[in-house]
Chain A
Amino acid sequence: MTQTFPPKPDSEDITRKPPSTGGGTTGMRLIVPLRGVVQGRGGLILGSLIPCALFYFLQFYLKRRRPSPPSNPASPSASSSNLAELQRTSSRSNLSSRGSIGRALVSTRASSIAKSNDSTYYIGLDRVKEDPYDEIDNPNGIIQLGLAENRLSLDLIEKWLSRTLNDSICGGSSDGLSISGIATYQPLDGLVELKMAIAGLMSRVMGSAALIDPSKLILTSGATPAVEILCFCLADQGNALLVPTPYYPGFDRDVRWRTGVDLIPVHCRSSDNFTLSITALDQTFNQARKRGQRVRGILISNPSNPVGNLLTREMLYDLLDFAREKNIHIISDEIFAGSTYGTEEFVSMAEIIDSEDSDKERVHIIYGLSKDLSLPGFRVGVIYSLNENVLAASSRLTRFSSISAPTQRILISMLSDTRFIQEYFKVNRERIRKMYELFVTGLKQLGIECTKSSGGLYCWVNMSGLIRPYNEKGELELWEKLLNIAKINATPGSSCHCIEPGWFRCCFTTLAEKDIPVVIDRIHKVVETCKSPA
C-alpha cells in the first residue's frame, strides 16, 4: 500500500528536532551533498550506500506514519474482489491530496475509523438505503432483513400518542410542567421520574421475580454509549472482554473504537445450538492469560443476538461462578428481553443477582427502548448495576451521552401508563411469534433450517448447504448473490464472527406479513442457482 509522501515531513517522527519552518529545505539539504558524492568525490560505494540509506529511512518514515490497522480483525477477507467495489465512497475521497494531508494530522483513531473497511453488516445496510424495497414505488428494491428493527407494533404507540400526547411535551394542566422544566440542565444521568418509569418497565419485562431499583439505573442516549461507558469503567486500555460468538457486529465498535479494550471471541458451535460452554470460556481465559492479556469481564447478550436463544438459569449461575472464580465482571446486554416469543422462560441476570447474597457487584445489565419499544430514534439506553462505584463512574461519564429532555418527558408519560405497556408487550409478542413462524415455515419449504430461537427480532438461518466452497469466501459469495440477485440484505455470520460458515441472521420484524412470500420466493431463486451444477 503506497502513501503519498507529504511535502512537509513532520520532523518529529524522524528526529527530535525543533519544528522546521518548511519541508522543502530538508529535501534540498539531502539532495545537494548527494550530488556531490555521487558525482565522484565519494565514489561508487557512497553513491550506492546513500540511496540505500535514504530508502531505508523512507520505509521507516512511512511505517511510522501509517495509521494502526482498522480495529476489526475478523472483517471479511479482502481477497473477495466484489467487496472492494462495495466499499464506502468516503474512502475514495481520502485519496485526494488535501485528504491525505488532513489525515496525516488527525489522530490515529480518526484515520482508521474514517476510512474503516466497513463490515458486510454496514455495507448491506447502506445498500438498502440506496435502493429500499417498496411494494408500490420500488418493487425491485432490496428487502431489509439485516436490521434488527421492530415495525410490527408502532401503530399501538401511535394510537397512544394521539390519545395522550398534547399535554406531555410542555406540560399544561396535567403535569404542571413548563418548558423551563425541560429546557434547563437536567441531571445528566436521567430524570428521576424516567428512571422510576423505566425501573417499572424493566421489572415487568425481566420477569416480575426481579425488582429493579430506580436509583441503580443510569440513563444514556442509547445502548451503544451504555456499552462503551461500561467498558471505560471496567477495563483499561489493552485489557479484554470475552464474548461468545456469534455476536452483534456493533460490539466491535462499541467496545474497541475509543476505549482501547479488546474483544476475545469464545466460539460456540451449531452442535450445541450455539450455546456457550463454560469449558470453552475457561480455555479462552487461560489462553489470554498465557498471552499476557488481562481479561476484565464477559460480555453476553441475552436473548442472544444474532442467534436468538435464551440463557438458562443454570447457565447464568455457572457464569456467575466463573466470574467469581476469575474475579471478573459480567456485562449482560438484555436489550431484547421484552421481545421473546418462544415457550421458554426468559431469565434475567437481574433475577440472579437479586437472589445472590454476594457478587451482586460483578454484574451489570444493559437495556434500552430501541428494540422492545421500537423507538431507536429516541435514543434511550440503560445501565443497571448494584455496584456503587460503577454507578458513580457511569453517572459522570454519561454526560457525554445524555437523553434529550423533551424525549424523557414523553417517555415518562408513556411508560407510566402501565395498562398500555402491559397491552403493548402482550400484543407485540404475539405479532413477533406469528412472523417468526411464518418466516421459519417458509424457509423450511425451501429446505433451509433455522436454529430454534425464542427471542429477538430475527432468526439464525443455516444456509451452509448452499455455499461452495464451505468457507468464509463461499459465504460471502452467497451474501452477494442474495444482495444482488435476490435483492435481500441478510447479515452473514462472518460479520458476527461465527466460526462456522454459511449462517445468516435474518430479521423479520421489518416486514409485513404479505412481504414474507415475496422474500421466500426471492430466496428460492438463489437457492435454485446454488443447487444447479457449477
Chain B
Amino acid sequence: MNMLSKKARCDADGQDSSFFVGLQEYEKNPYDVVRNPSGIIQMGLAENQLSFDLLESWLARNSDVATFEKNGGSTFRELALFQDYHGLPAFKKVLVDFMAKIRRNKVSFHPNKLVLTAGATSANETLMFCLANPGEAFLIPTPYYPGFDRDLKWRTGVELVPIHCSSLNKFRITESALQEAYQQAQKLNLRVKGILITNPSNPLGATMTRLELNHLITFAMDKNLHIVSDEIYSGTVFGSSSFISIIEAARERNLENTDIWSRIHIVYSLSKDLGLPGFRVGMIYSDNETVTSAATKMSSFGLVSSQTQYLLSNLLGDKKFMKSYMKENRKRLKKRHEMLVSGLGNMGIRCLKSNAGLFCWVDMRHLLSSNTFEAEMELWKKILSEASLNISPGSSCHCTEPGWFRVCFANMKKETLKLSIQRMKTFVDSINDENSENQQLSFCITKRRSLTKWVFQLSLYDRGPDR
C-alpha cells in the first residue's frame, strides 16, 4: 500500500548522492581514538568544533541564564509561553549587532528586517517559497553545497540552473558564465527569478571578490532578478583578505533606496560561526517588506525555541566574551587550515587558495586515472575504503571538472587531523607507487610488444598487453 505523495516517494532530497552516502558509511564505521582507531575519519561534515571549550566556560560562568533566572526573578513563564513569530526582541537586537560587527560595521542592520528560522536550511527553503513559484528557477554558481538540491528544490518545486565556474580562473563567477546560465534556463523554458550565492563559498572556502559581486549586482539589475546571499560562513574568515557582503558592495554603488536593494536577501545562521548547529538558529535579512512579512508568517513552520533565543541573546550580548571568542576562533581555524594545506602540500597536493570556511577545496586531478567523473568516483571510493577518510567528491557539489574534493578540517581534534594527513600520505604514496609500477609495466610491455611484433611478425602467437 504505497499511498504516499509523489514528493515523499521521490528522492529529490538527494539522499543518494555520494555526499550523503559518505556520511552514511561513516556512521557505520566511525573513527574513535580508543574504541575504533582504524575507523573512518569524518572529513565530509562542515562543522566547527574548535571552540567548544570557550562556550562551555561561558555557560559555566553564566549558569543563571541556563536556569532562566534574571535579576532574582524568573523569566521561565514568559519564555514558556512566548511563541511570537517576530522573535524575542532582545535576541534580534544582538543578532543584528553581531552581523554588523562581522561586516566591520560597514553596514548596519535593523531588527525589524530580520526573520528567525530553525536553521539556515529552513531560511533558504523559506526564501525560495517566497521568491519563486514552482517551476521557476534560480541560478547558482558551481561548485555548490550538495544540500541545496534538497533545501531549495524539494518541497518548493523550484529548479536550479548552474553557473559554471572553472578552475582556470579560480572558480570565480564571470559575466559570460552568468549570461550562459541565463540563456540555458531560457532554453529549458524556465523563468529565472534570481541568483543564489554562498559567500564565503562552500565548498571553495574563499570570499567573493568585489568584482564578482559587482558583476552579480549589475546582472541582477539588468534582468530584474533577486540575489540571495547565503553568508553562513561570514564569521569564519581567517585570512588576510576580508569579507565583503553583497550589501556592502551594493551600498558602495549607492544602490540603497533603488529597486535592486529590495531584491537582495541575506541568509545567516549561528551553526558555522559559533559552532552551534544543534541549536537550530537561522535567519533571513531583507529590505523587502513583502518578503519579510511572508517569511515571518511562514516561520511558524520552524520557530526557534524561546529558551534558545533567550540563552543566545545573553551569550551574544556579552560583547567582551564575543570579541575574544571570535578572535580566538578565527585563530584556531587559521591554524587548522594551514595544517591541512601544508600537510597536503607535502604530498604534492594543492588546495585552492582560501581564506574562510571550515574546509579546503583540494585539487586531486593528478591522482585520477583519467579525466572523468568515473575516475573521480573511483578515487573517492578508494580513499574511503583504503585510507578510511570520508571526503566529499566535487561531482556531488556539481563541479564541472573532475578531480576536486572538499576536505573539512574543523570538526575533529588536532591529533585526528594529523592522523588523517598521515593516512592520506600513505594512500598517495601507494598510488604513486602503483602508478609508477604501471608506467614501468606499460613501458616494458610497449617495448616488448614492438620487439615481439618485429621478431614474431609471422608468428601466430599474439601477445596483447598483460593488463
Contact = CB atoms under 8 A, between A and B. Distances in A.
Interface of A: 8, 10, 12, 18-19, 21, 90, 93-94, 98-99, 101-103, 105-111, 113-116, 149, 151, 154, 157-158, 161-162, 165-166, 168-170, 178-180, 182-186, 221-222, 224-225, 228, 232-237, 239, 253, 257-259, 296, 327-329, 361, 370, 374-379, 389-390, 393, 396-397, 399-407, 410
A110 B130 contact: yes
A80 to B, nearest CB: 23
Interface residues of B, number: 82
Q: Top 5 nearest A-B pairs by Cβ distance?
A: A377-B306, A405-B278, A393-B8, A110-B294, A404-B305
B289 A99 contact: yes
A232 B306 CA distance: 27
Contact of A103 (B49, B76, B290): B290
Contact of B131 (A110, A236, A370, A393): A110
B68 A180 contact: no
B224 A10 contact: yes
A375 B192 CA distance: 42
A109 B3 contact: no
18 contacts: A98-B259, A99-B290, A102-B288, A105-B193, A158-B74, A168-B66, A178-B56, A183-B52, A184-B47, A184-B278, A221-B302, A221-B305, A379-B306, A389-B2, A393-B4, A400-B301, A406-B278, A406-B305
Given A178-B52, A378-B305, 10 more contacts: A93-B289, A99-B289, A101-B262, A106-B291, A162-B67, A235-B5, A390-B4, A402-B119, A404-B307, A406-B305
B83 A377 contact: yes
B5 A236 contact: yes
Contacts of B188: none
A388 to B, nearest CB: 11
Contacts of A258: 129, 155, 298, 301
B293 interface: yes
Interface in B387-417: none
Nearest to B78: A377
Contacts of B1: 327, 361
B276 interface: yes
B47 A225 contact: no
Nearest to A158: B76
Contact of B305 (A21, A98, A379): A379
B280 A157 contact: no
B59 interface: yes
Contacts of A379: 83, 118, 303-306
A154 B55 contact: no
Contacts of B193: 105, 107
B81 interface: yes
B82 A377 contact: yes
A232 B5 contact: yes
Contact of A158 (B77, B191, B288): B77
Contacts of A101: 259, 262
Nearest to A88: B293
B13 A406 contact: no
A179 B68 CA distance: 18
Nearest to A329: B3
A400 B125 contact: yes
A234 B290 contact: no
B122 interface: yes
A376 B13 CA distance: 30
Contact of A114 (B3, B76, B155, B293): B293
Contacts of B68: 161, 165
B383 interface: no
B55 A183 contact: yes
Given A178-B52, A376-B81, A407 B305 contact: yes
B13 A404 contact: no
Contacts of A400: 118-119, 121-122, 125, 151, 155, 301-302
A213 B191 CA distance: 46
Contacts of B74: 158, 161-162
Main secondary structure of the interface of B (DSSP, over half): helix
Contacts of A8: 224
Contacts of A407: 305, 307-308
B366 interface: no
B336 interface: no
Interface in B281-334: 281, 288-291, 293-295, 297-298, 300-308, 311
B60 A170 contact: yes
Contact of A403 (B2, B4, B301, B305): B305
A228 B55 CA distance: 35
Interface in B54-72: 55-56, 59-60, 63, 66-68
B55 to A, nearest CB: 5
Nearest to A16: B189
A162 B298 CA distance: 35
B305 A111 contact: no
B298 A257 contact: yes
B4 A234 contact: yes
Interface in B124-182: 125, 129-134, 136, 150-151, 155
Given A221-B280, A390-B8, A405-B279, A114 B294 contact: yes
Contact of B294 (A98, A106, A329): A106
Contact of A107 (B3, B76, B133, B277): B133
Contact of A170 (B15, B56, B288, B293): B56
B289 A184 contact: no
Contacts of A296: 3, 5
A405 B132 CA distance: 31
B262 A232 contact: no
A221 B282 CA distance: 14
Given A102-B263, A184-B278, A401-B122, A151 B81 contact: yes
B45 interface: yes
Given A102-B291, A113-B294, A376 B83 contact: yes
Contacts of B447: none
A106 B125 CA distance: 14
A483 B56 CA distance: 49
